Amino acid sequence: MNASKYLFMAATILTVAACKGKTEEIKSDKFVLTDTMARRISFDTVKRQQVENELKLTGKITPEDNKMANVYAIVGGFVTDVNVTLGDFVQKGQVLAVIRSTEIADYEKQLREAESDLALAEKNLKVANELYESKLNSERDVVAAQKELDNAKAELARIQEVMRIYRISKSSIYNVVAPISGFVVDKNITSALQLPSGMTDHIFTIAQIDEVFVTANVYETDISKISLNMPAQVEMLSYPGKMLSGKVDKILNIIDPDTRTLKVRIKLPNPGFALKPDMASTVYLHYTENQQMPAVPAESIVFDKSLNYIMVYHRADSIETRQVEPYRTTGGKTYIQSGLNVGEKIIVKNALMVYDAIND
């Protein structure tokens, strides 16, 4: 009887011990945020915000219109020298090319003729005045002589002004000079080229690029979303990862019939001339939608097995893995359509670390 009693007591003790061990094992499996992990994470509170959106456009660098000059050859002739190449910086008045031209010789002839006509008109007026004083001709003759002198002066002034504007010297040489200081961005002339008289195409383009435009294309479906002065960010293909900030400076209200796009321009400063004409770029135009949603930092989203999760923090021993449905991610911020409430506390930094610790 005593033996049975002892056996029963021993069995009871073993059962209690086993149950205790099982309870401790379950308790040890429950995740609790440690102090070490807590130092590696950060939190944020879910807020309802106006939904921001962006348009992603392709663009290229273009010089400012009023800081660009096309240079034309005003005479035909033989190109003896070309002193600059594409990309060169030139000063205003610098000789870009030299043309030997028979048309320049004609200007010289016109100048000599105008000078001779002026000298003759001055002499005729002097004679007319002397004859008038001697009563040998009429006042009408003096007036006619004066008119001839005025015409001769005007013609000489015209020829001199033409030669001064075009910087024509007294030879058959015509110097093509830079009208402004800037960079040579287009060149359509080479040495030993015979230029036709009356050529209408420009031979150089010079641009000042201390400030430049990014010209971007907007599709018809997105035209209603753009407006003047809307903020923009520009990323250059040449400088990946570097964002330049600007705003829409001008909307060119003409649709390109081939691409069905409208062009917008964003003005950018260009210190050090790092931005070159025709460089490719990606433009992000930011605008606000007419709706509000819960917003969280984009890094708080954990993507796993084609689903999106957020780690909702209640206590150190109560962290919930919550499936959510994102609406859009813009500018480092994700807007949540469903699965999250305003005011909830979430883990932002190292959310994936906590997710793996709980769910693996």
pLDDT tens per residue across span 307-324: 999 999 999 999 999 999
Average pLDDT over residues 47-56: 93
pLDDT tens per residue across span 225-244: 999 999 999 999 999 989 99
Q: Report the pLDDT value the prediction gives residue 6, as an integer from 0 to 100.
A: 46
Q: How far is CA 139 from CA 128, 132, 146, 292, in A?
A: 9, 7, 11, 92
| pLDDT at 12 exceeding the cut of 60 | no
Please measure the distance between the N-terminal and C-terminal CA atoms of the chain and give it in whole angstroms: 53
Q: CA 262 to CA 254: how far, in whole Å?
A: 6
* Token couple for 226: 């753009």
Q: CA 244 to CA 229: how far, in whole Å?
A: 15
Q: Report the pLDDT value the prediction gives residue 343, as an integer from 0 to 100.
A: 95
Q: Report the pLDDT value the prediction gives residue 229, as an integer from 0 to 100.
A: 92
Q: Report the pLDDT value the prediction gives residue 159, as an integer from 0 to 100.
A: 86
pLDDT tens per residue across span 89-140: 999 999 999 998 887 777 788 888 999 999 999 999 999 998 888 888 888 9
Average pLDDT over residues 144-153: 93
Average pLDDT over residues 338-357: 94
Q: CA 251 to CA 230: how far, in whole Å?
A: 11
- CB of 319 closer than 8 Å to CB of 33: yes
Work out the pLDDT band at 170, boundaries 50, 70, 90.
low
Q: Report the pLDDT value the prediction gives residue 22, as an integer from 0 to 100.
A: 39
Average pLDDT over residues 26-36: 71
pLDDT tens per residue across span 107-116: 788 888 999 9
Q: Beta strand 243-256 with 231-236: parallel, antiparallel or unpaired?
A: antiparallel
Total residue length of the chain: 360
3-class DSSP string for the chain: CHHHHHHHHHHHHHHHHHHHHHHHHHHHHCCCCCHHHHCCCCEEECEEEEEEEEEEEEEEEEECHHHEEEECCCCCEEEEEECCCCCCEECCCCEEEEEECHHHHHHHHHHHHHHHHHHHHHHHHHHHHHHHHCCCCCHHHHHHHHHHHHHHHHHHHHHHHHHHHCCECCCCEEEEECCCCEEEEEECCCCCCEECCCCCCCCEEEECCCEEEEEEEEEHHHHHHCCCCCEEEEEECCCCCCEEEEEEEEEEEEEECCCCEEEEEEEEECHHHCCCCCCEEEEEEEEEEEEEEEEEEHHHCEEECCEEEEEEEEECCEEEEEEEEEEEEECCEEEEEECCCCCCEEECCCHHHHHHHHHC
| pLDDT at 56 exceeding the cut of 50 | yes
Q: How far is CA 18 from CA 4, 11, 13, 29, in A?
A: 21, 10, 9, 17
Q: Report the pLDDT value the prediction gives residue 105, as an integer from 0 to 100.
A: 74
| pLDDT at 14 exceeding the cut of 80 | no
Average pLDDT over residues 16-24: 40
Calculate the average pLDDT of the chain: 87
Of 81, 271, 285, residue with least CA distance to 191: 81
Q: Which of 4-8, 25-29, 144-148 has the highest mean pLDDT?
A: 144-148
Strand partners of residue 45: 345
Q: Percent of the chain, pLDDT > 70?
A: 91
Q: CA 284 to CA 336: how far, in whole Å?
A: 22
Q: Report the pLDDT value the prediction gives residue 29, as an integer from 0 to 100.
A: 57
pTM of the model: 0.59
Q: CA 250 to CA 259: how far, in whole Å?
A: 19
Rounded to the nearest 5°, which phi and psi values hold at 307? Answer: -125, 160
